Amino acid sequence: MRVLNWIVVDLEKEVFSAKINYLTVINEEGVADESLFPKNLSPEKIVDMYKIMLLARALDAKVLSLQRQGRAVTYAPLLGEEATQIGSAMAMGDHDIFVPAFRQHGVFLARGMPMSTMFIYWRGFEEGDIMPKEVKGTPIIVPVATQLPHAAGIAFAQLYNNTGAAVVVYVGDGGTSEGDFYEAINFAGVWKVPLVIIVENNQWAISQPRSRQTAAETLAQKAIAAGIGAVQVDGNDVAAVYSETRKAIESKKPMLIECITYRMGLHTTSDDPTKYRPDSELEAWKKKDPILRIRKYLENKNLWNEAMENEISEKHSAFIDQAVEEAERFKPDPRSIYEHVYSYMPDVLKEELAEAEANNFWQGN
Ligand SMILES: Cc1ncc(C[n+]2csc(CCOP(=O)(O)OP(=O)(O)O)c2C)c(N)n1
Ligand SMILES: [Mg+2]
Q: What is the pLDDT of residues 65-96, one digit of tens each?
A: 999 999 999 999 999 999 999 999 999 999 99
List domains and CATH numbers for the chain.
Answer: 18-26+40-331 (3.40.50.970), 333-365 (no CATH)
Ligand 1 closest atom vs CA 172:
15
Look at residue 4 and tell me whether its pLDDT is greater than 60.
no
Q: Hey, whose CA ends up nearest to atom 17 of ligand 1?
A: 172
Rounded alpha-carbon distances, angstroms, from residue 192 to 21, 161, 189, 249: 21, 14, 5, 13
Among the listed ranges 169-173, 218-222, 304-308, 342-346, which one has the minimum average pLDDT value? 342-346
Q: What is the pLDDT of residues 180-190, one digit of tens each?
A: 999 999 999 99
Among the listed ranges 2-11, 297-306, 325-334, which one has the minimum average pLDDT value? 2-11
Q: Hey, whose CA ends up nearest to atom 4 of ligand 1?
A: 144
| Cα angle value 181/290/248 (rounded, 5°) | 45
Cβ–Cβ under 8 Å, residues 243 and 25: yes
**CA 331/CA 29 separation, integer angstroms:** 48
> Mean pLDDT over residues 161-174, rounded?
98
Q: In terms of C-beta density within 10 A (0-12 exposed, 13-18 middle, 19 or more buried), how is residue 309 classed?
A: middle
**CA 221/CA 218 separation, integer angstroms:** 6
**CA 23/CA 186 separation, integer angstroms:** 25
**CA 285/CA 260 separation, integer angstroms:** 11
Query: Over the chain, what is the mean pLDDT?
Result: 95
The pLDDT score that the predictor gives to residue 269 is: 97
Ligand 1 closest atom vs CA 175:
15
Look at residue 1 and tell me whether its pLDDT is greater than 80.
no
> Mean pLDDT over residues 253-272, rounded?
98
* Reported confidence tier of residue 360, pLDDT bands at 50, 70, 90: confident
Catalytic residues: 263, 267, 276
> Mean pLDDT over residues 131-143, rounded?
96
> Mean pLDDT over residues 326-354, rounded?
92
**Kind of pairing, strands 2-4 and 255-260?**
unpaired
| Cα angle value 42/46/48 (rounded, 5°) | 115
- The secondary element (H helix, E strand) that includes residue 7 is strand 7-9
The pLDDT score that the predictor gives to residue 107 is: 98
Q: What is the pLDDT of residues 12-39, one digit of tens each?
A: 899 999 999 999 999 999 999 999 999 9
Q: Hey, whose CA ends up nearest to atom 8 of ligand 1?
A: 144
The pLDDT score that the predictor gives to residue 149 is: 98
Strand partners, 197: 169, 256
The pLDDT score that the predictor gives to residue 337 is: 85
Give residue 96 CA to ligand 1 midpoint distance, Å. Answer: 26
The pLDDT score that the predictor gives to residue 334 is: 87
Look at residue 278 and tell me whether its pLDDT is greater than 70.
yes
Q: What is the pLDDT of residues 191-214, one digit of tens each?
A: 999 999 999 999 999 999 999 999
Best of 85, 140, 206 for a ligand 1 pocket test (most atoms within 8 Å of beta carbon)? 206
Q: Is the pTM of this model over 0.85?
A: yes
Q: Could you tell me how far CA 335 lies from the centroid of its own chain?
A: 33
Look at residue 365 and tell me whether its pLDDT is greater than 70.
no
How many other CB atoms are there within 10 angstroms of residue 314's CB atom?
Answer: 9
Ligand 1 shell residues, CB under 6 Å = 103, 142-144, 172-175, 202, 204-206, 263, 267
**CA 316/CA 52 separation, integer angstroms:** 10
Give residue 145 CA to ligand 1 midpoint distance, Å. Answer: 8
Alpha helix segments (H runs only) across the chain? 43-68, 82-89, 105-110, 115-122, 147-160, 179-191, 210-213, 222-225, 238-251, 279-286, 290-300, 306-329, 336-339, 347-358
Look at residue 361 and tell me whether its pLDDT is greater than 90.
no
The pLDDT score that the predictor gives to residue 82 is: 98
3-state secondary structure 171-214: EECHHHHCHHHHHHHHHHHHHCCCEEEEEEECCEECCEEHHHHC
The pLDDT score that the predictor gives to residue 364 is: 59
